[in-house]
Structure 1
Amino acid sequence: MAPGADFETSVVPVRGVPTTVYRNAPTTLAEVFGRAASWGDTAALSYEDRTVTWPHYSAMVSRIAGSLVVDHGVRQGDRVAIAMRNYPEWALSFAAVTCLGAVAVPLNSWWNGEELARSLADCGACLLFADGERARLVAEHRSGLPALRTVVEAAPKAHAGDLAWHDIVAGPVADLGTLAAAISPDDDATIMYTSGTTGQPKGVVATHRAHTTGLMNILYQGALHAATNRARSEPVRPVRTPSQALVGGPLFHISNLPKLYVAAWRGQHLVFMRRWDAPKAVALIDTLGLDGFAGVPTMVRQLLDEAEAKGTTLPSLRQIGTGGAPTPGNQIQRIGRQFRREVLASTGYGLTETTGPMVGIASSDFFARPDAAGRPFPVSQVRVVAADGSDAGPGEVGEARMRGVTLAKGYWNRPDESFCDADGWFATGDLVTVDEDGFLRIVDRIKDVVLRGGENIYCAEVEGLLATHPDVIDAAAFGIPHDILGEEVAAAVQVRAGSAIGSAELQRHVAERAAAYKVPAVLVVRTGPLPRNPAGKVLKSELRASLEAHAAVKEQP
């Protein structure tokens, strides 16, 4: 049962299908961002030496929305893209676009010009907010983007845009109430492109209702953990109001985007980093007294490493979250040890297609069940489907299927591509188990299962075994072709600087803890980081190609 009336649920028709929703959820993102003016003269966004207060935030959002409508002819349903690093302009642009009923399209700021142009063409964006670097990259492909009428250069300049930021914030003020009144909860709010680890990125279309329900899921998880802490008398540091959180991950990713509307709904102060830098993050948290941080497991590990090296306990932290990729059990134990379990630690599981997490776990459960991703939220449904199509029993491995109000509408410009089955279930491509208490555990990606001589080897298991070695910082396991067995296990491992460990020792380390067939036949030791996409996921295709190219060179006479 949801903790309190704030999270009461009911069943309503959503796109013609009876669906469980939160009764008290905001109806649209316009309603969420409309609360910005209610937080008084306090800080909303900070970046380096710049701070935007909530009154200034609200005024700029109104001016940007007004200029988009009056000066640039942007209408409800038009696509407006955002491509820049984590600057305050990112957050202000997103709020303005969604408040007027246009569709915000966050683009990966790590893409090159061709990749940016491909997605701009795919979504048919009429306007782009970009920083100088992205504006310059897009300018080289502008002739192939006839729908793109205007590029607003919104941050450090390369003089490659049509307009500067001050031009659009100096425009007319919009009546956001009038604009918002025309928006329906089930109108399109965003098109977010998948990370593309297995192919070309696809645009995932999510509604206002999907995002506002994601907001409620986050609030529900916090309320549930607070109630659990009280019931169990756990020594968790009290959360401040309003809180101040560090944003080190890219805003174009679904694990970070919700921070913008959570902040607007709760009056939270967000401190942006242009790009992740662990020493700088530790300095910001300690200097500014920030109490919240969340990032992919790699970022959390680097934060812990840097804090330990600097001799700080990060005493201001109240909340630390991890997600976007499975969190190793030894990292969860380390969080508990380094913070004496006094911070509210949490993780969740979801995809771009589910508009964020559909299950979550925190408080003492997070530490007691380090291999679990959580239990479904009140408005989330999760099935575990065995290979024969039947429902898997407790502890049995199967594919996670998800259904609920946060599920996206489908893929943009791909009408022939099935998004869900006939009953509305989305196939995640993740292998999971669910225990008797309803806690879901991620076993692996289906495509990350190595089929070796008829034996299924879960890459996540091999990675977890490698991660238990004290010299190992990061590990990725994957399959490589084998003439007789079909596939064999390979692995790439990042070790600590100065470590003398070799591949043979790490292979023995795995062999002591698992069956022989799970030991990587090929293991590459690196001192530099493994390649990752902006979502924090290891680019195994790149590692596999590098290993195969190395093998081909060795085979040459």
Structure 2
Amino acid sequence: MEQRPAVAPAGPEWPAVSLDETYRILTAPGAPFETREEEIRGVRLRTYVAALNDLRQVFDLGRSWGDREFIIYEGERQTYAAHFRAAGQLGRVLHDRLGVRKGDRLVVAMRNLPEWSIAFWAGISIGAVVTPLNAWGLGDELAYGITNSGARVAIVDGDRLQRLAPFVADCALDGLISVRTTDDHGTGAIPLDDLIGPREGYADLPDVPMPDPGHHTDDPATILYTSGTTGRPKGALGTHRNVLTNVISIAFNNARATIRRGDALPAPDPEAPQRVNLLPVPLFHVTGTNSMLIPTVMAGAKLVLMHKWNPERFLELVEAERVNSTTGVPAMVWQVLESPDFARRDLSSLDSYGYGGAAIAPELTLKFAELFPWFKPGQGYGATETSSVSIGNSAEDYLRHPDSVGLPVPVCDVKVVDANGRELPRGEAGELWIRGPNVVAGYWNNPDATAQCFTDGWYHTGDICRIDDEGFVYLLDRAKDMLIRGGENVYCVEIEDVLVAHPAVMDAAVVGLPHRILGEEVGALVQLRPGASATEAELIAYAAGLLAPFKVPVRIAVRSEEFPRNASGKTLKPVLREQLLAEHQRASDAA
């Protein structure tokens, strides 16, 4: 693997600037992260002065980038001018022909195609509430998203059209638009090409403004359905302010690291080469939309879409497109680092690789820093309900706190509370609550769930965390996945981190096994690295050398195949739990 020169390690003088002073510098009047107080839904919150008002402004910015390349997908290449002319044409069709008005819901259900972005910008710019659905969903799940949101129009690709076909009649749609497919299912879907023309003609479309409904920054913009692993998903109702707050927050980590080193923030360089971002996660996920697509447009950067996740294809694209920045969940990062192609690909263009979406073993952070010595790793922590990033860790702070998800961004407050919602002292474990202008307005059409998960502007994350004296947040476990063994709390993340540190283990999932007396015992499943070997007995003995006895798994299922995951890359622990329970029962019966 071709490498650039390594970044010099931080000297004994680091940090040159304290955390308090760093935040003061970056949020001062005139600074890029300057804040002010505003009242939002009855709560006084800090907001970014530099945040744009609405996503229609981002659409107009996208039009201004002209003949720059924008989207690359499987050999197809579209410029900003062509892409945003197509979006403008679709926006006019949605408004004039299909009657979509401000506040109407527009469903987008497709894999990562350029048309996903066209549909998003068309709908958002005319005031529709864009409602992306999980492209992995079955037909009844897609139909649920349409009916639950009350969408008037849905735009879908071929696979989604096929799955949805038996349910279309019950969806009460005013319009169904199909992308890159023929309608062989009798749905009456209108091909997108019939409405805006073929892809090769986008650049010749008229550049006529769409109807502008007049956006308020706190108007609804999106409904993003949560990637829950059980039950029906809930639709998080995001506003323009929520989304545009996140755009600024994702830039904060690097700025904080720069000031901590005692350096000045670099001045904008209009002559700098166009940056290239690679998107390996779904656009329908909050990371794909809020933290990749929208910031890419605002920066006039290039976006490379992956048809489906594959670590070897990922590495090929980084090399071929000279990718500068990308993202992923920890399991994806592990697969990249362990790929047989890793060493032979030229990855020297990469200068940013963020990850999040699941607990991250410190072993991954240290491994990453070793293999990418010319820049320092970073991670973000957030949720669909926080419009992506609320907390972040990067560079020297991350290497010194590799087991922490980091510090809150300037506009977010965090606290750890007990079961009654009372704030706990620093260092004690409890549920993490987050408050800020990025927190969504609630759950669409679900007042009960909204009341359960939001209190006076605070979002209840469901994550068990602690906060240290410096303010660093440590993710211990999901509240619903925490094990209680004989009255002792057992945090799965701690055990997973130990198992992943074993040289033969790529990934680990800890789940509870029922026990008549103790209530639960610790069980685990591990995925081995390619070509590695380890037995259950070896791994239990290894864990016993590093964990308190009550935390040591009594059973470890060893496998080579990848864990099942949901569309956002999170491990499906309920599925793994059922698998381990079945294996455990068979072993018990045999004994």
Q: TM-score, normalised by structure 1?
A: 0.94
Q: 1:492 aligns with which of 525, 538, 546?
A: 525
TM superposition shift of 1:6: 2.5
> For 1:361-380, what aligned pairs fall within 5 Å after superposition?
361-380=393-412
Aligned to 1:188: 220
TM superposition shift of 1:175: 5.7
Q: CA contact under 8 A between 1:282 and 1:307: conserved in structure 2?
A: no
- Classify the secondary structure of the residue corresponding to 2:432: strand
Say whether 1:453 aligns with 2:453: no
TM superposition shift of 1:218: 1.5
Q: 2:422 aligns with which of 390, 393, 405?
A: 390
Q: Which has the higher mean CA deviation after the structures are superposed, 545-554 or 256-265?
A: 545-554
Q: 2:542 aligns with which of 473, 494, 509?
A: 509
Deviation per CA, 1:223-272, whole angstroms, max 9, x where unpaired? 33344456399xxxxx9642101111111111221211101111010000
Deviation per CA, 1:284-320, whole angstroms, max 9, x where unpaired? 1111211111111111111222276443351110111
Aligned to 2:510: 477
Aligned to 2:87: 61
Letter in 2 for 1:369: H
Aligned to 1:236: none
Say whether 1:151 aligns with 2:193: no
Q: CA contact under 8 A between 2:330 and 2:360: conserved in structure 1?
A: yes
- Classify the secondary structure of the residue corresponding to 2:367: helix
Q: Matches of 1:133 and 1:387 in 2, distance apart? A: 44
Q: Matches of 2:72 and 2:454 in 1, distance apart? A: 44
Letter in 2 for 1:370: P
Q: Matches of 1:216 and 1:307 in 2, distance apart? A: 36
Letter in 2 for 1:40: G
Aligned to 1:317: 350
TM superposition shift of 1:422: 4.5
TM superposition shift of 1:191: 0.7
Q: CA contact under 8 A between 2:328 and 2:354: conserved in structure 1?
A: yes
CA 1:39–1:231 in 2, change beyond 3 Å: closer, same or farther? same
Q: 2:320 aligns with which of 262, 281, 287?
A: 287
CA 1:412–1:33 in 2, change beyond 3 Å: closer, same or farther? same
Q: Matches of 1:232 and 1:502 in 2, distance apart? A: 52
Aligned to 2:496: 463
Say whether 1:166 aligns with 2:199: no
TM superposition shift of 1:87: 0.7
Deviation per CA, 1:340-369, whole angstroms, max 9, x where unpaired? 1x2252111111111111111112212221
TM superposition shift of 1:524: 0.6
Deviation per CA, 1:147-203, whole angstroms, max 9, x where unpaired? x222211235564561112122249968647515x1111111111111121432111
Q: CA contact under 8 A between 2:391 and 2:408: conserved in structure 1?
A: yes
- Pairs aligned (count): 550
Aligned to 1:423: 456
> For 1:98-113, what aligned pairs fall within 5 Å after superposition?
98-113=124-139
CA 1:269–1:174 in 2, change beyond 3 Å: closer, same or farther? closer
Say whether 1:50 aligns with 2:76: yes
Aligned to 2:257: 225
Q: 1:39 aligns with which of 52, 65, 68?
A: 65
CA 1:140–1:304 in 2, change beyond 3 Å: closer, same or farther? same
CA 1:241–1:309 in 2, change beyond 3 Å: closer, same or farther? closer
Letter in 2 for 1:376: P
Say whether 1:407 aligns with 2:432: no
Q: Matches of 2:298 and 2:47 in 1, distance apart? A: 18
CA 1:422–1:350 in 2, change beyond 3 Å: closer, same or farther? closer
Q: CA contact under 8 A between 2:377 and 2:394: conserved in structure 1?
A: yes
Q: 2:561 aligns with which of 495, 520, 528?
A: 528
Structure 2 alignment gaps of length 5 or more: 1-23, 266-270
Q: CA contact under 8 A between 1:2 and 1:378: conserved in structure 2?
A: no
Q: CA contact under 8 A between 2:416 and 2:423: conserved in structure 1?
A: yes
Q: Which has the higher mean CA deviation after the structures are superposed, 446-455 or 1-10?
A: 1-10
Q: 2:331 aligns with which of 284, 298, 318?
A: 298
Q: CA contact under 8 A between 1:214 and 1:355: conserved in structure 2?
A: yes
Q: CA contact under 8 A between 1:79 and 1:123: conserved in structure 2?
A: yes
Q: CA contact under 8 A between 2:277 and 2:296: conserved in structure 1?
A: no
Q: Matches of 2:343 and 2:557 in 1, distance apart? A: 30
Letter in 2 for 1:247: L
Q: CA contact under 8 A between 1:496 and 1:527: conserved in structure 2?
A: yes
TM superposition shift of 1:498: 3.5
Aligned to 1:13: 39
Q: Matches of 1:156 and 1:291 in 2, distance apart? A: 33
- Classify the secondary structure of the residue corresponding to 2:32: helix
Q: Matches of 1:519 and 1:552 in 2, distance apart? A: 19
Q: Matches of 2:264 and 2:218 in 1, distance apart? A: 40
Structure 1 alignment gaps of length 5 or more: 234-238
CA 1:498–1:24 in 2, change beyond 3 Å: closer, same or farther? closer
Aligned to 2:243: 211
TM superposition shift of 1:15: 2.4
CA 1:232–1:66 in 2, change beyond 3 Å: closer, same or farther? closer
Aligned to 2:282: 250
Letter in 2 for 1:123: S
CA 1:168–1:359 in 2, change beyond 3 Å: closer, same or farther? same
Deviation per CA, 1:14-48, whole angstroms, max 9, x where unpaired? 22332211112100111112101222311111101
Q: Matches of 2:529 and 2:460 in 1, distance apart? A: 37
Aligned to 1:89: 115
Say whether 1:352 aligns with 2:384: yes
- Classify the secondary structure of the residue corresponding to 1:6: coil
CA 1:344–1:243 in 2, change beyond 3 Å: closer, same or farther? farther
Q: Matches of 1:26 and 1:245 in 2, distance apart? A: 22
RMSD across aligned positions (CA): 2.3
Q: 1:433 aligns with which of 466, 488, 495?
A: 466
Q: 2:307 aligns with which of 253, 274, 289?
A: 274
